[in-house]
Chain A
Amino acid sequence: MSEAIAMLPTDARPLLIVEHLTMRFGGLVAIDDVSFAAGDGEITAIIGPNGAGKTTVFNCLTGFYKPTVGRLTLNRPDGQFLLEQMEGFRIPQLAGVARTFQNIRLFPGMSVLENLIVAQHNKLMRASGFTFAGLLGLPVYRNAERKAVELARYWLDRVNLIEQADWEAGNLPYGGQRRLEIARAMCTEPVLLCLDEPAAGLNPRESAELNELLLSIKAEQKIGLLLIEHDMSVVMGISDHIVVLDYGRKIADGTPEEIRNDPTVIRAYLGEEEEEALPPEVAQDLENLTKSD
């Protein structure tokens, strides 16, 4: 474990420790012996070209996949959780890991508010005495439900969706759906929030708002954020720590300054001795990577 912690470039308390994570699908090695740590109260970005295995890391963390090899430790002040051994639904319930998706996964047929209430299912389920108190409308459940609505309202306010609380989630504009997904993840009251390309498809103004939101979540909630992002202005602007993956391997790990000047990273984005023109998005990334400072 100390090995991965030693890699933490900042002096934050390690919240998530990934050790020797390997994920194979048949003959394909999606992640190959990746170790890194993510600090508590920090934004850790995972970057890398397409197909580098970033989302697979998230899928292992949130119980979608069982890693072939490796240990994923969530190091909470009140105890340690080995994520790779937990049942999927217990990861958000007990360990407190929440995530959002690259392609948004809201409950489109439920109202915006209900999306946030579902996220507080476990609290409410306990308060409702596993439905009986809820069915009878007992005060215990009413109180719990009121608190749940308050928390939901707080987050709706934070993401500017309070006016749309009664809309069907599927009818929100794209940017709103992205923000709602973050609000919903926060309603599970996580200690680690994993965001899979939260800026994808947002215009520059929305993207700037997102940066602010993420920074304020980090500052106020004191939780760790793990971020997959292609938009280098977001990555360089807000992260404390960057992990770079390429072809399933970790090729660099450090602070934004270190990453920006790392020759291996630049080579991974450029490709070695590649004659043909770069795909436009990679060229864009590269440009941002080198110029933003």
Chain B
Amino acid sequence: MEYFVQQLINGLTLGSIYGLIAIGYTMVYGIIGMINFAHGDIYMIGAFLSVITFLVLGTIGFTFIPLALIIMLLISVVLTAAYGWTVERIAYRPLRGSFRLAPLISAIGMSIFLQNYVQLLQGARNKPLQPIISGGVVLMEKDGLTAYMSYLQMVIIVLTIVLMAAFSYLIAKTSLGRAQRACEQDRKMASLLGVNVDRTISLTFVIGAALAAVAGLMVTLYYGVIDFFIGFLAGIKAFTAAVLGGIGSITGAMLGGVLIGLIEAFWSAYFSVEYKDLAAFSVLVLVLIFRPTGLLGKPEIEKV
């Protein structure tokens, strides 16, 4: 039981991170119908920016941890959002009127570019970061087995819940969210009602990148080591999460993220750690075969 609870906590933590990244995939797919393969790398940039910010803060002798974390979060979110905006502006917007595959290829190109760009500027070696938030609470203890939840895990889960709630509110109730949903259904018509479609799409990328930056910061804190390649695997897993939940559905992305996190944690715990990625991607295959619309996705109706 203790072991199970422990894996549940680990899975939820991991799932929160995947969920935050998955939202970026699903939103972009919803609004312009393309998979932004550079999104994983945007998340990697977020992770790097938070490490760099932390190191800079350390160098100037700023050691008050809670405030340092908030500064890391803010700087990483703002700059990563700027990256997200730029990627959309230079790699996708010029191709908007083009055939469907063009922005997809462009996205893959952007992904490769971002990886190499960070590799060149930051070097290929791992970037370690000392644990910043330590400690935790023992939830259960029995026969030497414990279920332990670190403060960091709590922060990750709580922050994710807050962000997802705020984000759902944004989509459901604010005028930007309404415009996004309108663009999703009929971009031309939205424009005829005075919605600035290009700006709405840009903001979608900005929001997606901001959430990915938070995920990047969390991963940095959680694993304590990052490199220029982390975006690939995390990106593909978050993409799997988005497909599992039903691509285009925001609740689906959150749910899918948590499920993928749990599957990975339990697989590693009860079967084998080596094959945890295999488990996650098998889910992708199974979902695509048996329920291509995902758990919460609606079947796509072809417009005539």
In chain A, what residue has the closest Cβ to B301? A108
Does residue B194 face the partner (Cβ distance < 8 Å to A)?
yes
**The stretch of B48-56, B72-80, B174-182, B253-261 that contacts the partner chain:** B174-182
Q: A105: which B residues are within 8 A, CB to CB?
A: 186, 188-189
Does residue A47 face the partner (Cβ distance < 8 Å to B)?
no
Q: B101: which A residues are within 8 A, CB to CB?
A: none
Does residue A89 face the partner (Cβ distance < 8 Å to B)?
yes
Q: B166: which A residues are within 8 A, CB to CB?
A: 135
Is the CB–CB distance between A121 and B185 below 8 Å?
Answer: no
Q: A53: which B residues are within 8 A, CB to CB?
A: none
Does residue B195 face the partner (Cβ distance < 8 Å to A)?
yes
Binary interface encoding of chain B residues 21-50 relative to chain A, with 1 for a CB under 8 A from any of its CBs, else 0: 000000000000000000000000000000
Cα distance, A122 to B194, chains bound together (Å): 7
Contact among B169, B170, B186, B195 with A121 in the assembled complex (CB-CB below 8 Å):
B195
Binary interface encoding of chain A residues 91-116 relative to chain B, with 1 for a CB under 8 A from any of its CBs, else 0: 11100001100000111111000100
User: Contacts A125-B176, A128-B175, A134-B175; is A110 near B185 (CB within 8 Å)?
Assistant: yes
Binary interface encoding of chain B residues 178-219 relative to chain A, with 1 for a CB under 8 A from any of its CBs, else 0: 110110011011111111110000010000000000000000
Is the CB–CB distance between A118 and B182 below 8 Å?
Answer: yes
Is the CB–CB distance between B178 and A121 below 8 Å?
Answer: yes
Is the CB–CB distance between A108 and B193 below 8 Å?
Answer: no
Is the CB–CB distance between A89 and B181 below 8 Å?
Answer: no
Is the CB–CB distance between B193 and A131 below 8 Å?
Answer: no
Pick from B166, B179, B192, B195 the residue with the most CB of A within 10 Å.
Answer: B192
Contacts between the two chains (Cβ within 8 Å), count: 84
Is the CB–CB distance between B182 and A107 below 8 Å?
Answer: yes
Is the CB–CB distance between A184 and B193 below 8 Å?
Answer: yes
Pick from A110, A114, A121 the residue with the most CB of B within 10 Å.
Answer: A121
Cα distance, A116 to B170, chains bound together (Å): 18
Pick from A114, A119, A125 the residue with the most CB of B within 10 Å.
Answer: A125
Cα distance, A64 to B197, chains bound together (Å): 14
Does residue B142 face the partner (Cβ distance < 8 Å to A)?
no
Does residue B173 face the partner (Cβ distance < 8 Å to A)?
yes
Pick from B179, B189, B203 the residue with the most CB of A within 10 Å.
Answer: B189
Contact among B176, B192, B195 with A131 in the assembled complex (CB-CB below 8 Å):
B176
Q: How many residues of B contact A (CB 8 A)?
A: 24
Is the CB–CB distance between A188 and B194 below 8 Å?
Answer: yes
Q: A110: which B residues are within 8 A, CB to CB?
A: 178, 181-182, 185
Cα distance, A63 to B197, chains bound together (Å): 14
Is the CB–CB distance between B175 and A124 below 8 Å?
Answer: yes
Q: A242: which B residues are within 8 A, CB to CB?
A: none
Cα distance, A91 to B166, chains bound together (Å): 33
Q: B185: which A residues are within 8 A, CB to CB?
A: 107-110
Q: How far is the CB of A180 from chain B (nearest CB, A)?
A: 13
Q: How far is the CB of B239 from chain A (nearest CB, A)?
A: 24
Does residue A117 face the partner (Cβ distance < 8 Å to B)?
yes
Is the CB–CB distance between A188 and B179 below 8 Å?
Answer: no
Does residue A88 face the partner (Cβ distance < 8 Å to B)?
yes
Is the CB–CB distance between B179 and A125 below 8 Å?
Answer: yes
Q: How far is the CB of A83 from chain B (nearest CB, A)?
A: 13
Is the CB–CB distance between A118 and B179 below 8 Å?
Answer: yes
Interface residues of A in 236-290 (CB under 8 A from B): none
Q: B193: which A residues are within 8 A, CB to CB?
A: 92, 98, 118-119, 121, 184, 188
User: Contacts A124-B175, A135-B170; is A118 near B188 (CB within 8 Å)?
Assistant: no
Binary interface encoding of chain B residues 155-179 relative to chain A, with 1 for a CB under 8 A from any of its CBs, else 0: 0000000000010011001111011
Q: A93: which B residues are within 8 A, CB to CB?
A: 194, 196
Does residue A35 face the partner (Cβ distance < 8 Å to B)?
no
Q: A114: which B residues are within 8 A, CB to CB?
A: 178
Q: B189: which A residues are within 8 A, CB to CB?
A: 105-107
Is the CB–CB distance between B194 and A99 below 8 Å?
Answer: no
Is the CB–CB distance between B194 and A92 below 8 Å?
Answer: yes
Q: How far is the CB of B138 from chain A (nearest CB, A)?
A: 37
Is the CB–CB distance between A121 and B192 below 8 Å?
Answer: no
Binary interface encoding of chain A residues 190-211 relative to chain B, with 1 for a CB under 8 A from any of its CBs, else 0: 0000000000000000000000
Q: A64: which B residues are within 8 A, CB to CB?
A: 188
Is the CB–CB distance between B178 and A131 below 8 Å?
Answer: no
User: Contacts A107-B189, A109-B185, A121-B195; is A135 near B169 (CB within 8 Å)?
Assistant: yes
Q: A73: which B residues are within 8 A, CB to CB?
A: none
Cα distance, A88 to B195, chains bound together (Å): 9
Is the CB–CB distance between B195 and A118 below 8 Å?
Answer: yes
Cα distance, A102 to B178, chains bound together (Å): 24
Q: A130: which B residues are within 8 A, CB to CB?
A: 176
In chain A, what residue has the closest Cβ to B203? A131
Q: B173: which A residues are within 8 A, CB to CB?
A: 134
Q: How far is the CB of B224 from chain A (nearest CB, A)?
A: 32
| The 7 A-B residue pairs with the shortest CB-CB distance in the complex, in nearest-first order | A124-B175, A134-B174, A93-B194, A92-B194, A89-B191, A131-B176, A107-B185
Interfacial residues, chain B to chain A (CB-CB below 8 A): 166, 169-170, 173-176, 178-179, 181-182, 185-186, 188-197, 203
14 inter-chain pairs at a CB distance below 8 angstroms, sorted by A residue, are A89-B191, A89-B196, A91-B192, A99-B192, A108-B185, A117-B178, A118-B178, A121-B179, A121-B182, A125-B175, A125-B176, A131-B175, A134-B170, A135-B170
- Beyond contacts A92-B192, A119-B193, A128-B174: 15 other A-B pairs, Cβ-Cβ < 8 A, are A88-B192, A99-B192, A117-B175, A118-B178, A118-B190, A118-B195, A121-B178, A121-B193, A121-B195, A130-B176, A131-B176, A131-B203, A134-B175, A184-B193, A188-B194
